[in-house]
Copies of this chain bind each other. A is one copy, B any other.
Amino acid sequence: MPLEFERPQALVESVQEALMNLIFSGELNAGERLNEAAIAQSLGVSRSPVREAIRSLAQTGLIVIHPNRGAFLRVFSDDEISEMYDFRCMLAREAGARAATRIGASDLARLSEIIDDIERITTAGSVREFFPLNIEFHRIIVVASGNRRLASSYFDIAREHRLYRQYCLQLAGQPEQRGLAHQQTSNQEHRLILAALQNQDAQAAGELLYQHDLSGQQRTGELRMAAAAKTSVA
Query: Which A residues contact B (CB, under 8 angstroms)?
Result: 6-10, 12-13, 48, 51-52, 55-56, 58-60, 66-68, 80, 83-84, 86-87, 90, 94, 146-150, 153, 157
Contacts and interface: CB of A to CB of B under 8 A. Distances in A.
A115 to B, nearest CB: 28
Nearest to A146: B83
Find the residue from A6, A66, A147 having the highest chain B CB count within 10 A.
A147
A19 to B, nearest CB: 13
28 contacts: A6-B66, A7-B67, A8-B67, A9-B67, A10-B68, A13-B67, A48-B51, A51-B52, A52-B52, A52-B55, A55-B55, A55-B56, A56-B56, A56-B58, A56-B59, A59-B60, A83-B148, A83-B149, A83-B150, A84-B149, A86-B147, A87-B147, A87-B149, A87-B150, A87-B153, A90-B94, A149-B157, A153-B153
A43 to B, nearest CB: 17
Q: Interface centre among A8, A10, A60, A90, by most B CB within 10 Å?
A: A90
Contacts of A9: 67
Contacts of A149: 80, 83-84, 86-87, 157
Contacts of A146: 83
**Central interface residue in A7, A60, A84, A150, by most chain B CB within 10 Å:** A150
A58 B51 CA distance: 15
A168 to B, nearest CB: 18
Nearest to A87: B149
